[in-house]
Each structure stands twice: as structure tokens, then as C-alpha cells.
Structure 1
């Protein structure tokens, strides 16, 4: 499991949305680095960035409590690092902006989501060489058996091993020699080593890149931001012949995809699948998710299905539950496109796993895919039962008012019409269309 979530998620997942918000507030205030005069600056011995309490917000997000999660994230945005040399925010804010964007995205507020993703990508462009200052370990070792996750719906068909990656790594900031600033004027910033959560910063960078392409759609290749991303990431700001190159290549591949350069995107993403040619890494799942999307668009449904299943497996190994959800949802969609009259076999074991893990958002999405599968198989009573489960699961969350709620109402309408319940179908369809009026992508 992704190390920060291994610590924070189990203790937070049992809390309600309001409890999570209060827990984040109280825990964050207790952190001395966040309690001293608001926004922080780069300094030796500071706590890791993003700070450990940030990961408490994931419990609310994966429970589908997007509104409460967004409120909790405000605490971290307000106390974000300020960079004295460059001015403005620093790379930790890539995480806060991206997750603010995710909360808005899940609620169908795409204008606000666009604003936050654009802010995150502007920081990525501004600090595009940040990984060159990270003191990465020279080699990666295999994960221990205790670190591995049993994934019940799929076993990877690739020859690979899961790598073990440190949750925090030092980054060097500032200057060893400040004589020029002292004698000629300028900002004196002593050299400091600061621990950062590299995995989370890269994860959020990748997520912002994917959502950017999704929100802009056909206009994305013509965006100035997209062109800047391709240019800056195309310089491959990573140590040459080092395993961390793969983490830059994932981002570059996503930038190429956003620019409509699918052939280049595929080539770079395939190169980024493994580190050191042997180990899955936290963004192997993103590689396969994007390759699956490219194959689906190209009409190669068999290859797309394989990539989506591989993405779901690797994402589960690294506790990226958002990618698990997307990969299985798209995997189900590809199945429906190619062979809708038989069950999509990964769904049932994945639902059991999501239930055991307390992953409400994932569970609800899987139940909706199951209901859609049952409708396509001509079994509206079974679909209605799955929808009833999903409805009960999403009570007291933000999901009924967001994207998942729109999916649910659309499927309820179809199931009701199939069962001859026209009035109920009309109510559900009206609710689905009301959301889509403001929440559709383009």
C-alpha cells in the first residue's frame, strides 16, 4: 500500500464527513509547522510536504464526501509553502490545487475544476525541474510480502514485480553560495534539505494532466498551457539513466496525449511502464489507464481491456483507489461495447474487496456498472436491486448530487422503463438531465 495511506486511511475511513473535517482541523493545528503564522517558507527540518494530516482528507474523498473534503483541503491551501526565491506558491500546492479540482470535478462543477487544474499545471510548468533537486535512492528494491495487496478480480499477466518506494525523500532548495545575493542585492536563501512526498506530487501532476485533456476535449491541443507542458516536460527534467526518469516520462506521455500526439504518447508511456526495467511503480497504473483509453479510442477493444485490468491491479497494489475506479469503470464499458450479453467478471469480486476496504465511492461505481451490465443482459429486476444497494450506499454523501448520482439516475430511468414504471422512470430521467445540463463536459 502507498505508505501515507497505509498509516492514515485505516484510522480515518471509519469517520463521517464532519468528523473527518474536524479531525483534519485539529490535527493540522497541532502541527507546529502549520501553526506558526500561517503560510510556511522553505526551511531546514520542516515536516514533509504535503504534511501527514493532508492524507486524512482522502478518507472523505473516497467516501464520496466531496464537499467536506474540499473544505478540509482549504486548511492546507491556506498554509501552503511560500517560495522566497521564486515568489508565490511551491510544488506542494500542486497537490492541493489538484484535489480541490477533483472535488469540483466529481460534483460536475467543471469551471471550478478547470481553474484548479490550471493552477496545478501552472506550478508544474514553473517548477518543471524540481525532480532534479530530489535526492532519490540510487536503486529500487522489491516490495516485501507484507506490502503486497491481494487483488481478487485480476492477476497481472505481465512479468513484473512491485517495487518499494520511500514515502518521503529530501529535496535540496536554496543556494550553497549566497555571495552574489549579499553583495549585488537579491534574495538570500540558504541551502536546505526538506522532506517531500514525491509520489503524491507526481500523482497529482498526472491526475491534473489527465483531467486537463478530458475537460478541454478537442480544444486541448490548441491550448497554450498544453503546448507549454509538452515543451517543458519534453526536456525530460530528470537525472539521465536513473530510475526516476520513468516518473517524468509518465507526465510527458500524458502531455503528448493532451496535445493529440497519440503515437508519441504511446511510445513514451510504454517506456514509463516499469522502473529499472523490472518494477511496477505508483504510476504504472496511470500508464495502463492512458494506454487503455488510447486503444479504446482507436477501436482496439481487446487491448484496451487488458490495459484497464492491468491498471486496476497495479493501482490496487499502490492504493490509488481513484485509478482502480476509473480502470474498472472503463473496463466494464469496453466489455459492454464488445460483449454485453455476459457478465463482466471482475465486478463481483471487486465489489467484495471495496466493501471490505470501506471504499464507498468505488463500491457505488462498481454497483452502477453491475446494474448497467444487468440491464444489457435483459435483467431489469437484478439491475433494480443493484441500484437500490448503490442508493443506500450513497446516502449522507455528496455523491447523489454529483457524477455518480447522474449515472445512478440514468440507470434508474432505464430500469424503470424496462419494468413498465413510466412515472418513476420519468422522475429519474429528469434528475439525470438536470445534472447533465450543467455537469456535462462540453
Structure 2
């Protein structure tokens, strides 16, 4: 059931993005009286799942879910149908239109993608607000794993700035650190700035959750007990565990570390209760747990900010730019020789696996609509950026050739357009096969 919901979300999100992107090309083309021969959701090599011709345009659904397209008469596109181009240009063809009109038609898709992200982010801010973990409210230093120490952090460091900027949102802080060049911390009472080590970043990317190297610290005050044996041994909600086998415990992460080391054994603990310490003997399971939690106290560090309608408009724009900036910055990790972030790049199967779902306590699974729309907005602005890359076969390739014509005063020769389009299509098909093949390889070898 969970897989079915994830697949449905992926198809729904992609369908929304593709239809609106192609509508961004379709509407200005029709406005400028350019003939649109096809409007397709997904690609239809050899056959389509459904199609219907209305007026001069055939609307359909293809079977290959890698995007979609509008086929505009008189345009060199991914169909590589050049027979029409051998004939004299007709007034209703793309090639017969002024360069500025062709430029608007080609930029229509990415424009719609960006505005869609803007609208979604704005609506999310207005209706849901924005909830974040405020690290400024935490007095204790962060818990730095071996990965964080590999980047240059030391126990006791308090992060002040990342690349010269303050960041108090925990989720963004971890990502900022991964993308950073230098960190400024308060270390032993002094400000220290150090370059972030790529070796540590490489270690982070080998973990299933690359951002898990940075977690807030809080006392080991027990707020939940689910193990009957632990409760029977005398541990109570509100107790603070201060030592395990005579090892002093200051924070909850230190407690879990000591418990894990004693899997399958009994441990001697001291708890602070009503101002006095009491000794207890607790049984640790073979899995290295005692069935307790201390995370409810973290709720006081979360903050939800609400926005008025007017504020949400500006916030939607800002979030779109932030999303795009983060994604573009990640390129330097993807192509970094040490970090090798490209190994984390996934295609459709990886995206489906990571689609968000809402899991209830009874085990039922449903769509987390807030997460779904957040993903759709992020993916929309990402598609806008990717389509602007000047590669023949993408909108950016057509835009570059059109801008060249507007600057030089004459069009690029038709043969060059055709050859460039062919090279671009082959490159993009090869890239899709590589990404999809990587997904299959990871699935077969357990790399997901």
C-alpha cells in the first residue's frame, strides 16, 4: 500500500508539472497563431495510451513517463521530423514567427514552472506557516559525530556562522554546512574559523541520511517508557539519567551510546528524581535499547511562524529562490572528486522511494499533502533551472539559438539546428538511460 501511494504521488506530481510546463509553451504559441500539432503528457514512441484530436491539435497520454511535449509546426524538436522543414515556411509555423515571439514561446515552460513553485510555496506559508527547529534556543553545543569531526568540528563547538552567515534553522544548518567552505565556531571561549574538510563531507554522503552528522543535545530526561521491564525496574517519566555503569551522562546521545555498548546485559544507572539520585538496575535488550525516549522535550525548541496573505506572496518568492540556490549549490558536491555526490543522484525509482508519506500509529499510510506540495514546488523550480541549461533538446538550447539570431541579425542555419538537436537528444536519452540504469543497479544490489 505504501509503495502504491508513493507511485501515485510521483505520477500526480510529475503530471501536474509536465502539463503546466507544456501549457506554458502551448498558450503563447496559440496566442501568436502558431500551429500546435500535439500536446502530450509523457512520451509516446510507437504508440500512446490515449489520444483525441480537437481542432488542429492532438491531445494524448504517452506510455513513457519521462516528461511530455508539445509539437509545434515548423520547429526542430525532439521528434526530429524534418520533412516539413524542407518545404517553404508557412505563416502558421514556428520558424516563420519573429524571433521575439519564438523566444517567448520557448521561455513559457520555465516561466510557468517558476511561478508554480512561487504559488505553492506562498500557499504553504499562508495556510500552514513554517515550522523549524530553532538552534538559538538550545544552550548546549551540538552533538558532533565522527563525520562532523572529519569536517573539522570539535566537541564543545558552538556554531556561529556558516560562510559568514548566521543560520538558526536546524534543517538548513546541516545542509549549509555540507555546502560550505568555512565555519565559524565558539571554541573554548574564542571565535575560530576553519575550512570544512571534504573528507568529512564524503563520509556524510556515505551515510543513508547525509545530514545526520549534526544533532542538537539535550539532557537525558525520560518522557516516554514503552518497555514494561524498564518500568518495573523503577524508572519513571521525568527521571534524568545521570550515569550508566559509573560513566557520567550529560546528554541523551551519551545515554544511547552507553546503552548500545551494553546490548543484552544489565546496566547500573543513577537517576535524578526530585533533587536526589537513586540507583536502578535496567535490562538492555539484544538490540541495545531499554525502551525509553527523551524527544518530547525537543518540542520547546520548535517554532512555527505564520504569514499574512501579503507576506506569503513575498515569502513564496523567497522560498523559491532559496530552493533553487540550494539545488544549484549541490552541483559542487556532485562533481567534487572526494565527496563523489553523484553517487547519491537518483532517477525515478529513487524519487519514488523517497516520496513522503504520512504514517499513523496504527500502521496505516496516507498522503502527507504538505510534504507532497513542498516536493512539487521544489521539483518545479528545479525543472525550470534544468530546462534553461543551454543544451540542444532542452528549452535552453532553443533560447540560445534564438538569442544568437536576435543579436547577430540572422538565424542559425537549419542544418546546424538539426545536427545540434540530434546531438542533444542523443545526450539526453543517454543520460536518462544512465540514471535509470543506476536506479535499477542500486535496487538490485540493495544500494537504495
TM above 0.5: no
Which one has a larger percent strand, Structure 1 or Structure 2?
Answer: 2
The TM-score with structure 1 as length reference comes to 0.24
The TM-score with structure 2 as length reference comes to 0.24
Which one has a larger percent helix, Structure 1 or Structure 2?
Answer: 1
Larger radius of gyration: 2
